[in-house]
Amino acid sequence: MEKPKVFVSRRIPVDGLDRIIELGDVELWEEDLEPSYDVLLEKVVGADGLVCLLTDRIDDQLMDAAGDQLRVISQMAVGFDNIDTKAATERGIAVGHTPGVLTDTTADFAFTLLMAAARRVAEGARYVQEGHWKTWGPTLLMGYDVYGSTLGLVGSGRIGQAVARRASGFNMRILCYDPFVDEDVITAFGAESTSLENVLSESDFVSLHVPLTRETRHMIGASQFRDMKSTCVLVNTSRGPVVDTEALYHALKDGEIAYAALDVTEPEPIPFGDPILTLDNCLIVPHIASSSIATRTQMSTMVADNLAAGLKGEVLPYCANPEIYG
């Protein structure tokens, strides 16, 4: 029997990749950088399965280019805003993702960013590396206390709730804005449900945990920065376009807020030379919140599980468009 044809758009951790290679006639994109959209369009022609990453745009045109035999798109990420799931559903293509496994790893990292920003860790490290450390300084790099402060969560899904669990260990008051979640659920994980305006104006730290949708794109922009305390630290481990980067630059430069710690940016990657990179009060890391060895390994095996099920026509264990199953 002919093996199913699969295109894999980047080298993923070996545990998952080895299993994927056994599942079919696999073409692996070996470059460090992702294939361009045009290259992807060519590579998917005739594929039964596609393994992709959040750096790949997977739209209706691409699905049509692949052909009617395309049965499954298996993405190594929990977020899938890069995939047109509606177009996939219309074509009967199952879309897989990797929820759950990265919740705690990402929450750990959101808290790492929060702490690093509050206590100016990146600035301190730079100060030492650049040879400025001459003595103990009584006012040197004074930051903000985390313990006992107020955390504002925007979004209270799995990762937001996991951040709340960490915050409760720091005796933080937790405010939460999530119009899609019942107040009872928010109260049950130790937070107070309130409006976005209240979260922004009362919090010492604001951490974003919403998916990227039409509604959440640029939901934090110039007017939201004006609502925030001038001592506020913004943490973003969700998706870059949730924050208006240009407005953030001005808010940080003009002292409307104190600090931003970002795992994600818009655009991504943030171009070298972007003015935001000149700011000492902005810490940016390259979208690594889920990047622990254990988590990325587990994500890769979930990708293989989804691909295997999809190629056999079975229900995906971790499906982003369950509506295809009626």
Say whether 246 sits in a helix, a strand or coil: helix
- 112 or 290: whose CB is closer to ligand GLV? 290
Phi and psi angles of residue 17, each rounded to the nearest 5 degrees, phi first: -60, -45
Helix 158-169 to helix 103-118 angle (10° resolution) is: 50
Q: How far is the CB of 77 from ligand GLV (least distance, A)?
A: 3
The stretch among 8-16, 36-44, 73-81, 157-165 that binds ligand GLV (CB under 6 A) is 73-81
First-to-last alpha carbon distance for the chain, in angstroms, is 30
Closest separation in Å from C-beta 2 to ligand GLV: 33
Say if residues 235 and 208 touch (Cβ distance below 8 Å): yes
Q: What is the spatial distance between Cα 50 and Cα 75, in angstroms, rounded to a whole number?
A: 8
Nearer to ligand GLV, 114 or 299 (CB): 299
Which residues lie below 8 Å from residue 289, measured CB to CB, with a gap of 6+?
102, 105, 106, 109, 110, 237, 263
- 22 given a catalytic annotation: no
The residue from 239, 256, 266, 296 that is catalytic is: 239
- Verify whether residue 218 is a known catalytic residue: no
Q: Is residue 77 part of the contact set for ligand GLV (CB under 6 A)?
A: yes
CB 21 within 8 A of CB 38: no
In what order do the strands lie in the sheet containing 94-96? 25-28, 5-8, 49-52, 72-75, 94-96
The span of 63-71, 72-80, 88-96, 169-177 binding ligand GLV (CB under 6 A) equals 72-80
Adjacent-strand bridge partners of 25: 5
Q: Does 78 bind ligand GLV (CB under 6 A)?
A: yes
Contact status, residue 175 vs residue 202, Cβ threshold 8 Å: yes
Distant-in-sequence, close-in-space partners of 85: CB < 8 Å, separation ≥ 6: 95, 320, 321
Taking CB under 6 A as the criterion, the residue among 149, 150, 290, 295 binding ligand GLV is 290
Part of the chain binding ligand GLV (CB under 6 A), chosen from 38-46, 75-83, 188-196, 307-315 = 75-83
Using rule CB under 6 A, residue 49 touches ligand GLV: no
Q: Which range in 71-79, 83-91, 154-162, 214-222 contacts ligand GLV by CB under 6 A?
A: 71-79
Rounded Cα distance between 238 and 155, Å, is 10
268 is known as an active-site residue: yes
Chain residues 88-107 in contact with ligand GLV, contact rule CB under 6 A: 102
Residue 41 structure tokens:
């369009």
Q: Which is nearer to ligand GLV, 63 or 302 (CB)?
A: 302
Q: How far is the CB of 287 from ligand GLV (least distance, A)?
A: 6
Closest approach, Cβ 289 to ligand GLV, in A, equals 7
Q: Measured from the CB of residue 129, what is the shortest distance to ligand GLV in angstroms?
A: 29
Interaction between residue 79 and ligand GLV (CB under 6 A): yes
Closest distance to ligand GLV from the beta carbon of 248 (Å): 19
Applying CB under 6 A, the residues found at the interface with ligand GLV are 54, 77-79, 102, 290
- Active-site residue list: 239, 268, 287
